[in-house]
Amino acid sequence: MKNTFGSALALTIFGESHGRAIGAVLDGMAAGVPVDESFLAACMDKRRARGDGLSTPRVEADNVQLLSGVVNGHTTGTAIALMIENQNTRSGDSIALLAIARTLGTNSSWENGERMDNWDDVTLWEEGMAGYTPEKNGRVKYARFFMFNTKEELPFEVQYLTAADELNFYSNVNAFLKDLTTGEHITKLTQLKRLTIAAYGLVSLDKNFTALKNLEFLDLSSNNFQKIPDEINPTNFPKLLTDSVAETTVRVVE
């Protein structure tokens, strides 16, 4: 999908609501045009969600940062880049989970209007848990996606579950007929300690899969590998526990 609009005055938008930020680049604006940042802030304040039950549950300040193209309240003639950081990462986690479930085609009962605390197959970080830090509070620690039907790699939204230490993907319909790869997005979660991608229909791992060096447990069972992937070895995954190595199972198709 094209994200640039216009020619003489071109606007390019970027980002997703569950990502780190959204923003835009406006190119073609003449120099010397006044920019009233306080007026822009007031307009953004009118449209932001307030957690009143009438809009999205994400409550954020929507502060616009002008990164370039504006100096001393006037345009410079260069491209104007602006960005709004997404600060409500817990709500971002919920949106990512819903997007992953929708893309995979699971029969999940998760609902955006319900607290994640009540969602099945999801565990949130709480004080007292091993590995807990204040910035993880209320974010997704564990999630399971079960009984789905996809012909694609793992959805790109998985990369936004940056506080998770365990993810489980299990039971793709007719997995034995499929020849899929993990895709690159799961490899961005270098903090993961436990990962299951079982009965998915995998025949290969992404070239960056070895970035998951913090894994202590890995289950790739019931997939369609012709041989054990070369990437699975102690050098690439030094933290796989001795007892866990035996559980790092890979089904090889004869």
pLDDT in tens, 34-60: 999 888 888 877 765 544 444 444 444
Beta strands 202-204; 180-181: pairing state? parallel
Q: Which residue has the higher pLDDT, 152 or 228?
A: 152
SS3 77: coil
Which percentage of the chain shows pLDDT scores above 70? 84
Question: What six digits make up the tokens of 126?
Answer: 């709480």
Ranking 105-114, 120-129, 176-185, 209-218 by mean pLDDT, the lowest is 105-114
Strands (E) in 10-119, as ranges, are 10-15, 21-27, 64-68, 70-71, 74-75, 80-85
Neighbour tally for 189: CB within 10 Å: 20
pLDDT at 149 over 90: yes
Amino acid at 90: R
Q: What stretch of H or E contains 41? A: helix 37-47
The answer to whether 174 touches 152, Cβ cutoff 8 Å, is no
Q: 253: burial class by Cβ within 10 Å (0-12, 13-18, 19+)?
A: exposed
Nearest Cα residue to 190 out of 218, 210, 173: 210
Average pLDDT score over the chain: 85
- C-alpha distances in Å from residue 157, one per residue of 58, 61, 177: 17, 23, 25
* Gap between the terminal Cα atoms of the chain: 41
- Residue 121's contacts (CB-CB under 8 Å, 6 or more residues apart) are 143, 144, 145, 146
pTM: 0.68
Predicted pLDDT at 23? 86
Question: What six digits make up the tokens of 67?
Answer: 């990164």
Count how many residues are written for the chain: 254
Predicted pLDDT at 114? 81
Average pLDDT over residues 67-81: 92
The answer to whether 167 touches 123, Cβ cutoff 8 Å, is no
- Could you report the per-residue pLDDT of 162-207, keeping only the tens digit for each? 999 999 999 999 999 999 999 999 999 999 999 999 999 999 999 9
